[in-house]
A and B are shown apart, each in its own frame.
Chain A
Amino acid sequence: MIEPSTEEYSAENGPNLTPELAIANLQSSDLSLRYYAAWWLGKFRVSQPEAVDGLIAALEDEADRTELGGYPLRRNAARALGKLGNVKAVPSLIKCLSCPDFYVREAAAQSLEMLRDKTAVLPLIQLLAGGVSQAVQVPGRPHLTQPYEAVIEALGAIGATEAVSLIQPFLGHPVPRVQCAAARAMYQLTQDATYGELLVKMLDNSDLKLRRVALGDLGAIGYVAAAEAIAHAKAENSFKLIALKGLLEYQLTSELDALSLSDHAIRVMKLMDSLL
């Protein structure tokens, strides 16, 4: 369900920008420059107030449209705002959750996940209306009616315990990636190992992409009991290292000066060493 073009640029092959130029380009008459500038501001985490304000304004853009009625600039602006970490963007991102463009809703949910602001909980919950039976494929499109994966992950990350009973049924959703998102959120909201183990089981799935998703989820929730299963999963070492790094970081709660390494942390690092 991820839009294929998310990382279509590399920093080398676009126009040379400065933060000032990128902010100005958000209002360029050339729509492609606007689109690129929004991506660039997020990529290089330009968090000055003018960038945040410019991107918030871009969430209302009407000029840049696809044939199917999508809003490319809004998508990029929504994605960038998550990376900039300024909660000023939250109300506008919440508004984007009712945008007719699926990919704008998805980007907004992903960014709200990053900003972790409680005020997003109710609007996110509303996207789960109708439950699993409404969560079906949109005819002719490569996505479901709502960005369930992103919405559920956001609710888990924000700590929306009030959403537990709404998320749990999605463990039985026919799309495995949605199941993963539900298991991830349920673990975050309940700390019940049953849900961590559901993700561990996904590491045996025959689909490599799904195994990578499960690795990412286990890293994000820091489920340390999965360490050996992660190290032995059939996936590239880079994905396993990122997952184990997530586990390790959950073991390192104290400040560094006072940091003493727990046995869990040492165990995780030994596994990481073996994957170099």
Chain B
Amino acid sequence: MTEELIRAVTQADTPARMVSAVQNLAAAKDPAAIPTLIAVFGYNNPAAAAIAVAALTELGEQAVPQLLAQIDDYNYGARAYSIRTLAAIADPRAIDVLITAATTDFAPSVRRAAARGLGNLHTANLSFSQSQTALSALLFISQDSDWSIRYAAVVGLQALANVAEIQQPIRARLKEMLANDAEKAVRARVLLAQSQ
């Protein structure tokens, strides 16, 4: 059954057929579909990719090992979808990949998704040293020259402040950004973070 649905995805010859084939495969909610759903990220079909992101997110933790193993180093569009999915599943096993993506990827879309994801990891399953590492990465990119990366860093820092032990440095950094950031939009996002 799932095999047929997978075949339909690999054989789809128009963007519209691709979307409906991915929809059908997603509806099966079968872990056997995971590699095919990840492969959809590389097909340059945003509608199909969005469905695959949602389906993999719903499959959750069982999709994480393959998501980590199948990250496309040569296609930043596909990579952004992988990072977004890992960020949404929020499994702490993704932490190293998210840190690398947030701090070293050349594509801003990938870095923003990773920054948001670093704050979102299920903090209950996060060790102290892991939350420390996530914090340092976010503090580092909160000084990036690209405003959108700093904005994403604020969103990540706000979420990471759920970890009580590291609230203090997060508050201090947000205060600093509110005073000094060159972009009004970033300062406004800091205000929102502080008010929540």
Q: Which of B20-28, B124-132, B144-152 participates in binding chain A?
A: B144-152
222-251 of chain A: CB within 8 A of chain B: 234, 236-238, 241-242, 245, 248-249
**B196, closest chain A residue (CB):** A266
| A94 vs B116: C-alpha distance when bound (angstroms) | 46
Q: Which of B29-37, B67-75, B106-114 participates in binding chain A?
A: B106-114
Complex contacts, B109 vs chain A, CB 8 Å: 236-238
B168 at interface, CB cutoff 8 A? no
Q: Which of B2-10, B51-59, B135-143, B186-194 participates in binding chain A?
A: B186-194
Complex contacts, B189 vs chain A, CB 8 Å: 269, 272
A193 at interface, CB cutoff 8 A? no
Which of B46, B151, B191 is the one whose CB lies under 8 Å from A259? B191
A252 at interface, CB cutoff 8 A? yes
Complex contacts, B188 vs chain A, CB 8 Å: 248, 252, 259, 261, 265, 269
Residue in A241, A252, A266 whose Cβ sees the most chain B Cβ within 10 Å: A241
A68 at interface, CB cutoff 8 A? no
Complex contacts, A245 vs chain B, CB 8 Å: 147-148, 183, 185
Residue pair B116, A238 in contact (C-beta under 8 Å): no
Complex contacts, A252 vs chain B, CB 8 Å: 184-185, 188
Also in contact, A273 and B116, with CB within 8 A (given A259-B191, A261-B192)? yes
**B116, closest chain A residue (CB):** A276
| A234 vs B116: C-alpha distance when bound (angstroms) | 22
* Min distance, Cβ A143 to any Cβ of chain B, angstroms: 31
Residue pair B155, A241 in contact (C-beta under 8 Å): no
Residue pair B151, A272 in contact (C-beta under 8 Å): yes
Residue pair B192, A269 in contact (C-beta under 8 Å): yes
What is the size category of the interface that chain B forms with chain A? 20 to 34
Residue pair A256, B195 in contact (C-beta under 8 Å): no
Complex contacts, A273 vs chain B, CB 8 Å: 116, 155
Which of A237, A242, A256, A266 is the one whose CB lies under 8 Å from B178? A256
B115 at interface, CB cutoff 8 A? yes
Complex contacts, A276 vs chain B, CB 8 Å: 112-113, 115-116, 151-152, 155
Decide if the interface of chain B is mainly helix, strand, loop or mixed. helix
* Min distance, Cβ A240 to any Cβ of chain B, angstroms: 11
| A248 vs B192: C-alpha distance when bound (angstroms) | 13
Residue in B155, B178, B183, B191 whose Cβ sees the most chain A Cβ within 10 Å: B191
Residue pair A249, B116 in contact (C-beta under 8 Å): no
* Min distance, Cβ A10 to any Cβ of chain B, angstroms: 13
Residue pair B184, A256 in contact (C-beta under 8 Å): yes
Per-position 1/0 for A248-276, Cβ under 8 A of B = 11001000100101000110010011001
Complex contacts, B183 vs chain A, CB 8 Å: 245
* Min distance, Cβ A224 to any Cβ of chain B, angstroms: 14
| A266 vs B113: C-alpha distance when bound (angstroms) | 20
* Min distance, Cβ A223 to any Cβ of chain B, angstroms: 16
Complex contacts, A242 vs chain B, CB 8 Å: 148
| A47 vs B94: C-alpha distance when bound (angstroms) | 46
| A245 vs B183: C-alpha distance when bound (angstroms) | 10
Per-position 1/0 for B42-68, Cβ under 8 A of A = 000010000000000000000000000
| A237 vs B110: C-alpha distance when bound (angstroms) | 11
Complex contacts, A234 vs chain B, CB 8 Å: 46
| A276 vs B115: C-alpha distance when bound (angstroms) | 8
Complex contacts, B108 vs chain A, CB 8 Å: 238
| A238 vs B189: C-alpha distance when bound (angstroms) | 17
Complex contacts, A266 vs chain B, CB 8 Å: 192
Complex contacts, B187 vs chain A, CB 8 Å: 256, 259
Using a CB–CB cutoff of 8 Å, the interface residues on chain A facing chain B are: 234, 236-238, 241-242, 245, 248-249, 252, 256, 259, 261, 265-266, 269, 272-273, 276
**4 further A-B pairs in the complex, CB-CB below 8 A; given A261-B195, A276-B152:** A249-B185, A266-B192, A269-B192, A276-B112
The 3 A-B residue pairs whose C-beta atoms are closest, nearest first, are A276-B116, A276-B112, A245-B185
Q: List 26 A-B contacts (CB under 8 A).
A: A234-B46, A236-B109, A237-B112, A238-B109, A238-B148, A245-B147, A245-B185, A248-B185, A248-B188, A249-B185, A252-B184, A256-B187, A259-B187, A259-B188, A259-B191, A261-B188, A261-B192, A265-B188, A269-B192, A272-B151, A272-B189, A273-B116, A273-B155, A276-B116, A276-B152, A276-B155
